[in-house]
Structures are given as C-alpha cells and as structure tokens.
Copies of this chain bind each other. A is one copy, B any other.
Amino acid sequence: MTDTSRRNFIRGTASAALLAASPVAPTARAADATKGRLAYEYQHVPVPLPFDAKSLQGLSEKLIQSHWENNYSGAVKALNVLRGRLAQAAGDANTPPYVYTGLKREQLLRTGSVVLHEQYFANLGGDGKAPADLRTRLAASFGSYDAWETEFRKIAMGLAGGSGWVMLGYNEQLKLLENHWMADHATAPAYTKPVLVLDMYEHAFHLDYGAAAAKYVDAFFTNLNWDSVAKRL
C-alpha cells in the first residue's frame, strides 16, 4: 500500500466524486502536496481489485464486484465528501464540538472501511496454501497453526449475523501477533498492523451464501493469498 500510484491529491472537490466512482489508476500525488492541507483535502481513489473478479473459487464475480463497487468504493466516496465537510466545519467557530465529533465519527468509520477493505481484497486471489514458515510463525504465537485457525474462525462465527472484521494483527507496541474481534469499521486494536483481515459484514457473503457464514469463511480460506500475509509479516 506504499505505491504512490495508488493515491492522488486533488485540490478541488469538483472532480473527486467522479474519480472516486471509477476504478481508474490514480495519478501520483502532486509534488507540492506537503504544502497543502492533506488532512482536509486528500481525495482517495479506489484501488482496483488485485485479482480478476471472476477468478475466485466459491465467491462469485457478482458478489466481489458489488463488494468492491458499492461497499468499498462507496466508502471511499463518502470519505472524500466528509473531508470537505470537515474543512467547512473546522473553519466555523459556530460549530459546537459535539457537532464536529459527529462528522469525525463518520470519518473514522469510513477510514476504517477503506483501509480494511483494501487489506481484505489484497488477502484474496491466492491458492489458500499456507507456506511452512508462516505456519511456524503462527504456531509460535498460538501454540499451533490449527489453534490459530480455530480462534480466527471462532471470532468470525461470533460476528456472523451482524457485522465486523476479524484481524490477525501485529501489535507494534506489545510486539504480539494476535487475532482481534472488531465490531465495525471504527473498532480496532490501537497501533496494530493488519496481517490478515476477514470481512464479516453480511455484504461480504449473503449474495452467495445467505446466512451460511461458515461456508463463506471456508471460501475465504480457499482463496487466501498467503503471499500478501507473508509480505506484511
């Protein structure tokens, strides 16, 4: 996610919605970006799917396409609009703090959605076979690879029927590799690098599996791209 070709800096807001809605490759962030007000003006551009939407096993093209377009790209678009709203409100002394924080919560929620969805899609497109060194690494934290997978799936099933994420993450402060339950896009372990994330919002599977969440988790594991996990660790 360090590639600048994936991001873009747009001063105005006019073209933002347009850009945000189309999966075109973003141009580089403008050279004078550091002189701007990135916190208020940065306009994210959706990162294209890192695999062919037709290529997954047990996750239909229709589902993946809708997930990318409506849920992920929708969050990008909302986040871009919210930045404009925040810029307005930040400069308005009449905006009470508790009105401002209403906007900040929405920003936090969409920020989480954008970041986690990008991690999620980057986790897919693989053959699901965990290489030996990663199995060993997981065993070092969880006792065994199976113990890790059991907990990861248990958290997923505890979220089934609702929304949220399961994250295998590396806590940069405690120096720990752990699985986390996250109730929504705004729930997250502080200062933690996502290593493997599973979307348990129902939009991630209902079109294909209805309420059969366990089957969706199976499909997630089948398509898991362990290379991306390896890079993050």
Instruction: Render A144-177 as a binary contact track against B, CB cut-off 8 A, 1 for contact.
Output: 0001101100111111111100000001111111
Check A112 against B172 for contact (C-beta < 8 Å). no
Min CB distance A121 to B, Å, is 13
Return the contact of A187 from the options B35, B187, B194, B203 (Cβ within 8 A). Answer: B187
Establish whether residues B66 and A210, one from each chain, have CB atoms under 8 Å apart when the complex forms.
Answer: yes
Task: Give A183-207 as 1s and 0s: 1 = Cβ < 8 Å from B's Cβ atoms.
Answer: 1111111111110000001110011
**In the complex, per-residue mask of A72-92: 1 if CB is within 8 Å of any chain B CB, else 0:** 001100100110010000100
Chain B nearest CB from A143 CB (Å) reads: 4
CB pair A104–B189 under 8 Å, yes or no, is no
Q: Is the interface of A mostly helix, strand, loop or mixed?
A: helix
Whose C-beta in chain B lies nearest to the C-beta of A106? B102
The interface stretch among A19-27, A39-47, A51-59, A124-132 is A39-47
Q: Is A222 an interface residue (CB 8 A)?
A: no
Cβ of B115 and Cβ of A190 under 8 Å apart? yes
Copies of this chain: 4
Cβ < 8 Å to B, chain A residues 1-45: 1-2, 4, 7, 34-40, 42, 44
| Cα(A40)–Cα(B147), bound, Å | 11
Q: Which residues of B contact A44 (CB under 8 A)?
A: 174
CB neighbours (8 Å) of A211 from chain B are 66, 70-71, 74, 203
Do residues A90 and B190 form an inter-chain contact, with CB atoms below 8 A?
Answer: no
The distance in angstroms between the C-alpha atoms of A17 and B147, with both chains bound, is 26
What is the interface of chain A, defined by CB distance below 8 A to chain B? 1-2, 4, 7, 34-40, 42, 44, 62, 66, 70-71, 74-75, 78, 81-82, 85, 90, 96-112, 114-116, 118-119, 140-143, 147-148, 150-151, 154-163, 171-194, 201-203, 206-207, 210-211
